A = this chain, B = another copy of it.
Amino acid sequence: MRSKAGPGGAPTFTKTARRAQILACAIEAIAETGYGRASLAEIARRAGVSKGVVSYYFTSKDELLTQVVLDVYGRAGAAIAARTDTETDPSAVLTGYVEANLAFLDEHPADIRAVTEIAMNLRTPEGAPRFTPSGADPVLTHLEGLLRAGQEAGSFRDFDAHALAILVRGAIDTASGRLVTDPDFDLSTYTRELVALVGLATRRTP
Binding site for B on A (CB under 8 A): 1-2, 4-5, 32-37, 41-42, 45, 48, 116-117, 120-121, 123, 127, 129, 132-135, 137, 159-160, 162-164, 166-167, 169-175, 177-178, 181-186, 189-190, 192-194, 196-197, 200-201
Closest 4 CB pairs of A and B: A170-B174, A135-B184, A200-B200, A163-B193
| This chain: copies in complex | 4
From the candidates B42, B170, B183, name the one contacting A173 in the complex (CB within 8 A).
B170
Q: How far is the CA of A162 from the CA of B132 in the complex (A)?
A: 30
Q: Smallest CB–CB gap between A62 and chain B, Å?
A: 12
Say yes or no: A185 contacts B135, CB within 8 Å: yes
With A171-B167, A174-B169: A45-B182 Cβ-Cβ less than 8 Å:
no
A180 CB to nearest chain B CB (Å): 9
B121 touches A5 (CB 8 A): no
Main secondary structure of the interface of A (DSSP, over half): helix
The residues of B that contact A171 with a CB separation of less than 8 Å are 167, 170-171, 174
New contact pairs (9) apart from A36-B36, A163-B186, A197-B201, CB-CB < 8 Å: A34-B120, A35-B120, A133-B178, A159-B196, A162-B185, A163-B193, A169-B174, A170-B175, A171-B174
Q: Are A37 and B178 in contact (CB under 8 A)?
A: no
Contact B41 A4 (CB under 8 A): yes
List residues of chain B with CB within 8 A of the CB of A48.
Answer: 2
